[in-house]
A and B are shown apart, each in its own frame.
Chain A
Amino acid sequence: MADRGDTHYPVPTLNTWFALSSALLLLTTVWMVIDDYNRPWKQYQRQFRDLEVEKLEAQRAALEEEGVAEREGALVAFVEQAEAELASRQAELDAANEELRAAQGEYWRLNEDAKSAKAKYNWERFLVEEERVHLGDETYGTEHLAEMELAMNEAISAAEEAQTAFDAAKEVVAGFQEDVDEAQAQLAAETRDLTRVRERIDQLAPSEVAKILANKIRDDIPGLDFIGPTIKVRKELPADLTFDLNFTRKQRIDMCHTCHMGIDREGFEEDAQPFTTHPRLDLYLTAKSAHPLKDFGCTICHRGSGEALDFVRADHRPNSEEQAAQWEEDHHWEKQHHWDYPMLASDKVEASCVQCHKDSMELIAEDAPVVSHGYELFERYGCYACHKVDWFPTQRKPGPSLKNIQTKVGPEWMAAWIADPRGFRPTTWMPQIFHLENHQPDEVIVTSEYGQGRDILGQEWNDTAVDAITAFVLDRAPVQPLEGPPVAGDAYRGREVMRLVGCYSCHNVAPWGGEEPQTLDPVLATRGTNEHGPNLRGVATKVTPEWLYSWLKEPAAIWSETRMPDLRLSDQEAADIVAYILEDPDGIFTDVPDGWAEGSSPSNREVLAEQARWFFARDGRATIERRLTGEDTAHPWDDTQALKVAVGEKLVQHYGCYSCHEIEGMEDMMPIGVELSNWGSKTVDKLDFGFAYKKELGGRPKLDHHYREGWLERKLDAPRSYDLEKVKNPTEKLRMGWFDFEQDEIEALATFVVGLVDDEVQNARMEPTAQQLAMNDGKRVVRQKNCVACHNVEPGTVTFRDADGVERTVMAEVTAFEDAVLPMPHGEVMDYLEQYAEEDGVEEVGFRLLRTEPDVGTVGSRVFVPVEDFLGATPPEGGDFVQVVADYYLNGGIEMFDPEAESEDDAYYFVTADPDGEGAVEDVDGEFRVYYEEPYDKVRWTFAPPVLWNEGHKVRGEWFFSFLHDVQPIRPQVRVRMPSFTYADGEAEAIVDYFAGRSAVEWPERYTRELRTAQGMDPVEMAAAVGISPKILLEIEDGYAPSIRSDFAKVLAWGDDQGFAMHGPVPMDYEAQVRRSPTYLAAREGELGRDPIATGESLAVNAVNCFQCHFRDGQPPPDAPIAWAPEMSVVPDRLRDDWVHEWLVEPQFVYPGTSMPANFGTDPPQYQDVFPDSTNEQQIQVVLDWLYNLGRTLRTARN
């Protein structure tokens, strides 16, 4: 159209613009649609769909190859046949249906009649009874009622008959359908997997053209794909999980699995991100796990932004700088500056466990090893003493009491120690406070304007401070003299006492500086449990004999909260140890690290005065100056000693020494560290990164100021480094001490502290059951008392490939390479195999099963596998000290090395306290005996600390509790002392409950394994017999705790049906006295026709001869200690009779290798002259009757 000139704008121009903008709009719309179509998450979902189809096709092919398809064909034919059969009998079926209908009608009719007859009768009876009351005649209408009742009963029985007929007709009809139903059920069961795979393939990648088109249009056409149900945002809104968004609590919405499609599904373990399966589906995401996706989402653990559908906005966290660079290139990744909860790096995710598991930290140790290690280090290094964590369960002061410290160490040792604790003991937990980064030797701490005319440098500042603190501590501690040993000690006996009594279960004497020890003496190596107390190297140069003797005799008298227990040492034993340590014939206790020198710290009065000015600034400058000149007689600081003490006190307060150490008058002061209860929620802008964060420091990388963890790790590594390049006055400088943490310790501690967050998870946090709480507390106490140093509480495992090529892990100990019969310490097995096995021509590895393993063998049996099928071994839980004891007896002493010997062979020799030099060990009866030709098992079970497998099942809780409080040796020949600990409230109970709980938890597993072994069935057979799936059966056998209760009930019921007897888990209210009740005994006598106690006694004492080995009422058996067995008279109080029963049936099943023989295991049964016509079980039962009446029998005998 031409321009008529009457328009405001030229129309052609407008048309052009319109056309252009239309085109633009169209283009933009297309662009938008395409862009939406190409959103990364949609691309991921399409990729994932293809990936899944690929896997399903592979599965289908595999299933078909297995012959499932053929089987399916056969089953379908079977169903068809059944259906055809039914069709051929259609007439009969119709007739039956007709009959059913008629019977149903009849039943309904008669049933209505019966109801009506009942109603009529009741109504008539009401009327009659009313009339009876009215007339006062009790007999009125009796006949009438009887008639009515008869009629009613007839109607009811007619209805019942009709119902029976109706039910029968129903069964007839069902009978026709029966074959078809059965065939269909079988078809469904056998092809379940194949059907599932096919259906899913059909859903994702249909084969029919129409379906393909429909799906394509639905999923894969830009602009229409929103219709498709497979491409969609997936989100979880875990109930009540919120986060803090600018002072409001906001519901968490996690959409992470929109892209991470395979995260909650098995089968994508090997695929690349974002499709990878979560590594722990047993614990997370799945509905059966403890943390289902719908209840927890993702960000509560991983942090990051859950609502983001974009790689960058989700605030993904790179694990390394290389990964960050890669991400920048691939995804234009950058840190989201305004998101306060950056995702945690993979190695720190465990931090999140803490928020919900404060009451169950001990229980998660296996699944969250890093954060649990951090938690333990936090306790071990005493972090909690300075840094409050409101829920932290341990409260004791971690350092030794400084009251009476003069009786222990001299002032010169103390000064050198304060200045540099690691100079004396490189492994100490005491932090170094002085001579750190913010007090460099030549750094000016106070300038000349303040410093009275001269600069004061870091070196002299620190030296003087150390001297002042030493002066104060010695001045403050009141002296109470200690008694030395009342008898002369013998160093060589001391060496044996120290070795055998148990000192090295908690202490070690590993050489400093990592030099290789010249002998294989186990106490020269650290192994975790023997680092519970300090390394004792060098202590002879530190302590006085009086202190050492008193400390050994009663540690708690010197330090009330010490973990060192009372070993009930005799005066002589304590004196012998004192002599051994202080005389040090082996050169251990006088060996101090190179460069260590005691000596007073150089101190300077000018510096001291300056320190007084800073630390007493509140008193006013004039006052301070008056004191310094001695004008103030109440503070005569012109006396340098008085000044030192005054400044020392301020320094002790400033650095918070009293937080860890008990110091007279400072018991109730507040700790000095920052509270860490919610440090992990602190935003990064509240952290002072200082000026040096952009530099590498001490080999550690420069810091990224966006993340907390790096700050924390550097703080732990170099605590004062945030003062670098800053000018601060001396009282404001950072104060945290340096602990010389290893890198793994830093990471573990940082993980734990990052996990200390505001409580965000009220409703998701784990609420432990009473049993779990008891287990948690018990596990902590067991760790803190270091019970596992001596006691093995759980056997180690061996992994091997069995004859079918299946990898199996069993509880076992490696016992033999070729014809060696000594069990090898687990730590050495793999080393041996790697280094020497080939050279020695080892072909087989043997191990002894320590728990019944169905399909492998019963407990105690030996298994040999070719060396190439032996895949590994893990150490037992606890019992390290057993090796120390066994080595001592079997080697005939401690292995020593004489560097001046003529030949290498002569250089190694063994020592004991044996004066004849025969390698004999002193027994509790005072005699020396040689043990190096005894079998290992004999020595192990006789002289080493007992194992505590299944201890809760073995001993009675009441006895255990009283034993812990008042230790009465059960096996006096054992020279290792069960310590007398000081228990805080609830600690002994916690230990008892812990072992009871362990046994109860293990119970279903033990029962099922024993049952299946006894039945000799494979898992599929037994599962079918019990009526559960084989997978669940194996889960029960593996101790899989959750969700097995109802299934285990079925196993139990089936076991009962098979006549399998194994007594139940540990009932806490167990009554030991049942076998003493007169009713029980009378019933037993009636049943047996003889006195059960007398028969039991005769069997035990005369036939079996128990007292040849067992203690009888305190009387030792007539032989050397190696043949001694435990006291019998404590059995009723101490042992649960379920356990004693198991023990008598086959001791080797309980403790493989024990000297206790199976007394009632022969076929035919023995001892028929004592107890005629008796079975083994009857014999065991009468012996139990006798045992549990033992106290009484003995009393009777004495009377």
Chain B
Amino acid sequence: MKLTLLLALAAAGASEHGAPVQAGAAQDTIPSCCQNNAPTFDPMHFVANANPPAPGAVVGAVSGKVVFEGDKPEVEPLEIVPQKAEGCVESGSVDSTDRSLLLGAGDGISNVVVVVEVDGAEVEVPEAPIVLDQKACRFEPHVVAIPAGATVTFLNSDAVSHNVHLYPGKNDPFNGTIGAGSKTDRTLDKEDKIRVKCDIHPWMESWILVTETPYMAVTGADGSFEIPDLPPGEYKVEFWHEKLGKGDTKITVGADGSADPIEMKMGEEKKKSRGRRR
């Protein structure tokens, strides 16, 4: 009984603060944030290939779509404490869409990183820094795949301070405040999956994938992707999603450059049950 009371209080508290409630947000609409990515960098179609095909050489493009399989989970909106969001946006409220699992048309999963392993492929580090923006108290874009050695510019386009807190596996850690309108650069030179958070605005989160191959892509809103310029051969294609984990498949690029489109299915891993009482 006590616990029910606590919960009731918690619920009352939330509505008192006027937290935006977006229960059961529609899964098939693409949030406005994700249609326009940061101006200098397009993660959907980024290839930093140091191995450009020789003129006239046969190359193929691998394309496909990642679709969700299984029971669709209910994605709750992010919890945003109003006092913390002060100054984030000029008017209205901060976008509270949880982008950790976004399903588009035909259950296509966006923000899946697709990587093709090609032996001997070299990565060309792009000269222009790759920008991870902090705008209206959200990271833009939500998932970015970059080649090892690339420099990421952490930009703060807001009028409030943010901090960028990297949780790397292999790269050196970083946690620094980026004042309003400021930016800072970090070079990430090891293959890694890096979670990025802002401790000041706990709902802000994004992922940087550092790969050691130029053949990679991030799926678009409908779950589709395309990786061009692959020489003929048989390859392993790896998929990664922050919630759904890893998957892989094989693809053959024919001698004429043709390749069958991939349809990759990903679903939620079975988790241990939680909270049952004896």
Q: Which stretch, A563-571, A1126-1134, A1155-1163, touches the partner chain B?
A: A1155-1163
A490 near B2 with CB under 8 A, answer yes
Cross-interface CB contact of B276 among A909, A1108, A1159, cutoff 8 Å? A909
Q: Mark A845-857, 1 if CB is under 8 A from B, else 0.
A: 0101000000000
Q: B173 to chain A: which residues have CB within 8 Å?
A: 848, 860-862, 1148, 1152-1153
With A862-B168, A862-B171, A1118-B84 given, is the CB distance from A918 to B273 under 8 Å?
no
A1119 near B84 with CB under 8 A, answer yes
Q: B151 to chain A: which residues have CB within 8 Å?
A: none
A1013 CB, nearest partner CB in chain B, Å: 14
Q: Mark A904-932, 1 if CB is under 8 A from B, else 0.
A: 01101111111111111010001110000
B182 near A928 with CB under 8 A, answer no
Closest to A1152 in B: B173
Q: B174 to chain A: which residues have CB within 8 Å?
A: 1148
A1166 contacts chain B at the CB level, 8 A cutoff: yes
Q: How far is the CA of A938 from the CA of B165 in the complex (A)?
A: 10
B171 CB, nearest partner CB in chain A, Å: 7
B182 near A1109 with CB under 8 A, answer no
- Within residues 159 to 184 of chain B, which ones have a CB less than 8 A from any CB in chain A? 160-161, 163-165, 167-180, 182, 184
Q: How far is the CA of A912 from the CA of B3 in the complex (A)?
A: 12
Q: A1060 to chain B: which residues have CB within 8 Å?
A: none
- Within residues 878 to 917 of chain A, which ones have a CB less than 8 A from any CB in chain B? 892-893, 896, 898, 905-906, 908-917
A585 contacts chain B at the CB level, 8 A cutoff: yes
Q: How far is the CA of A1153 from the CA of B79 in the complex (A)?
A: 24
Q: A926 to chain B: which residues have CB within 8 Å?
A: 6, 9-10
Closest to B14 in A: A927
Closest to A848 in B: B173
A846 near B169 with CB under 8 A, answer yes
A492 contacts chain B at the CB level, 8 A cutoff: yes
A892 near B270 with CB under 8 A, answer no
A892 near B274 with CB under 8 A, answer yes
Q: How far is the CA of A427 from the CA of B10 in the complex (A)?
A: 45
Q: Which stretch, B49-57, B120-128, B191-199, touches the partner chain A?
A: B191-199
A917 near B275 with CB under 8 A, answer yes
B170 near A864 with CB under 8 A, answer yes
A1120 contacts chain B at the CB level, 8 A cutoff: yes
Q: A860 to chain B: which residues have CB within 8 Å?
A: 172-173
Q: Mark A927-970, 1 if CB is under 8 A from B, else 0.
A: 11000000101100000000000000000000000000000000
B197 near A935 with CB under 8 A, answer yes
B176 near A816 with CB under 8 A, answer no
A919 CB, nearest partner CB in chain B, Å: 3
With A915-B7, A1162-B182 given, is the CB distance from A892 to B275 under 8 Å?
yes
Closest to B6 in A: A926
B202 near A916 with CB under 8 A, answer no
A816 near B3 with CB under 8 A, answer no
B250 contacts chain A at the CB level, 8 A cutoff: no
Q: B199 to chain A: which residues have CB within 8 Å?
A: 938, 1109, 1123, 1155-1157
- Within residues 818 to 834 of chain A, which ones have a CB less than 8 A from any CB in chain B? 819-821
B83 near A1104 with CB under 8 A, answer no
B176 near A1162 with CB under 8 A, answer yes
B55 CB, nearest partner CB in chain A, Å: 38
Q: How far is the CA of A910 from the CA of B177 in the complex (A)?
A: 37
A1105 contacts chain B at the CB level, 8 A cutoff: yes
Q: A920 to chain B: which residues have CB within 8 Å?
A: 275
B81 contacts chain A at the CB level, 8 A cutoff: yes
Q: A184 to chain B: which residues have CB within 8 Å?
A: none
User: 5 closest A-B pairs (Cβ-Cβ)?
Assistant: A917-B275, A1118-B83, A919-B274, A1157-B163, A915-B3
Pairs across A and B, CB under 8 Å, 21 listed: A493-B2, A493-B3, A819-B193, A821-B167, A892-B274, A893-B275, A910-B273, A911-B278, A915-B3, A917-B277, A922-B6, A926-B10, A1108-B200, A1118-B83, A1123-B199, A1154-B175, A1155-B199, A1156-B175, A1157-B176, A1159-B176, A1166-B179
Interface positions of B (Cβ within 8 A of A): 2-4, 6-7, 9-10, 13, 79, 81-84, 160-161, 163-165, 167-180, 182, 184, 193, 195, 197, 199-200, 202, 270, 272-278
Interface positions of A (Cβ within 8 A of B): 490, 492-493, 585-586, 816, 819-821, 846, 848, 860-862, 864, 892-893, 896, 898, 905-906, 908-920, 922, 926-928, 935, 937-938, 1103-1105, 1108-1109, 1118-1120, 1122-1123, 1147-1148, 1152-1159, 1161-1162, 1166-1167
10 more A-B residue pairs beyond the given contacts A1105-B160, A1147-B175, with a C-beta to C-beta distance below 8 A: A860-B173, A906-B273, A919-B275, A937-B167, A1103-B161, A1120-B79, A1148-B173, A1159-B176, A1162-B184, A1167-B179
